[in-house]
Amino acid sequence: MIAERKSAFDIISRVFAVTRLDIEHHQAINDQSLNIHGENYFRDVFNFVYKSSFDNANFGAFNAPFVDLIDTNKKQIVQITTTRTKEKILHSLKALAKPEYEGYKISIYYLLSKAMPNPKTAVEIESQFKVDLKSILKDSND
- The answer to whether 45 and 12 are in contact (CB under 8 A) is yes
Question: For 41-99, how does the pLDDT look when each residue is reduced to its tens digit (9 = 90+)?
Answer: 889 989 988 999 999 988 765 556 789 999 999 999 999 998 999 999 999 999 999 99
Say which residue, 90 or 35, is predicted with more confidence: 90
d(CA 50, CA 66): 22
Question: For 80-94, how does the pLDDT look when each residue is reduced to its tens digit (9 = 90+)?
Answer: 998 999 999 999 999
Question: For 121-136, how does the pLDDT look when each residue is reduced to its tens digit (9 = 90+)?
Answer: 999 999 999 999 999 9
**CB count, 10 Å around CB of 13?**
11
Per-residue pLDDT band for 112 (boundaries 50, 70, 90) equals confident
Burial pattern 31-61, b for ≥16 Cβ within 10 A else e, equals eeebbeebbbbbbebbeeeeebebebbbeee
The pTM score is: 0.84
Looking at residue 110, what is its pLDDT? 92
SS (H, E, C) 20-66: HHHHHHHHHCCCCHHHHHHHHHHHHHHHHHCCCCCEEHHHHCCCCCC
